[in-house]
């Protein structure tokens, strides 16, 4: 038997996943709550019960994306220590960005992307700095984050090149590139 709390959580996640689909298709400016509700298979009143406005939905969506990223990177690093843990985090960043279908959102909705980046970049920096060894971890983490942002906004290069840049910025040895290729 499904508990009401689980059903509510499932509905909320379905709406947020549908927001991803609608944003990727239409962009933020053309995002209509009725389109999100239809994509999620819920009524508009149900959507409004969970998210009172378009702004509220978009704010929750940003947090949902952050939660998904956090869960993914934690899973990638689980059970690993030292350089292997850092390398797994960097590989996850490359994989995440390589498969992330809202990359074009920067072209369509630069204001939204900049707003989200302003919120997320300090979080990313702090989390990456935690897993980089050494006294200059804050500088290395800043370089890793900036390289990731550049690849997100501008693209270019292969995933292997992106990973090599991240590894270099993080201070990982160059030989690691041959051992752990990015698909």
Q: Are residues 114 and 85 in the same domain?
A: yes
Q: Are residues 117 and 39 in the same domain?
A: no
Angle at 117 between CA 147 and CA 104, to 5 degrees: 75
Q: Are residues 74 and 6 in the same domain?
A: no
Residue 146: inside a domain, yes or no? Answer: yes
Q: Are residues 142 and 71 in the same domain?
A: yes
Which CATH number covers residue 24? 1.10.10.60
Cβ distance 112 to 58 under 8 Å? yes
pTM, full prediction: 0.79
Q: Are residues 35 and 117 in the same domain?
A: no
Residue 8: inside a domain, yes or no? Answer: yes
The residue range of the domain holding 167 is 62-179
Give residue-wise pLDDT tens across range 57-114.
999 998 898 898 899 999 999 999 999 999 999 999 999 888 776 566 677 677 777 8
Which CATH number covers residue 118? 1.10.357
Q: How many CB atoms lie within 10 A of CB 153?
A: 14
């Amino acid at each position: 038997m499904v508990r009401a709390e689980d059903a509510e959580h499932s509905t909320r996640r379905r709406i947020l996943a549908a927001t991803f689909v609608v944003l990727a298709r239409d962009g933020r400016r053309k995002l209509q709550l009725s389109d999100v509700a239809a994509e999620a298979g819920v009524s508009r009143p149900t959507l409004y019960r969970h998210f009172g406005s378009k702004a509220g939905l978009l704010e929750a969506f940003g947090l949902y994306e952050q939660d998904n990223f956090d869960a993914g990177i934690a899973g990638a690093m689980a059970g690993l220590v030292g350089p292997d843990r850092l390398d797994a985090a960097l590989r996850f960043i490359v994989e995440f960005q390589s498969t992330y279908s809202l990359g074009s959102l920067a072209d369509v909705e630069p204001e939204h992307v900049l707003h989200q980046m302003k919120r997320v970049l300090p979080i990313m920096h702090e989390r990456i700095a935690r897993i980089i060894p050494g006294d200059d971890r804050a500088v290395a983490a800043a370089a890793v984050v900036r390289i990731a942002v550049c690849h997100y906004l501008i693209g270019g290069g292969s995933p292997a090149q992106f990973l090599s840049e991240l590894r270099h910025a993080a201070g990982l040895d160059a030989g690691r590139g041959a051992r752990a290729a990015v698909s």
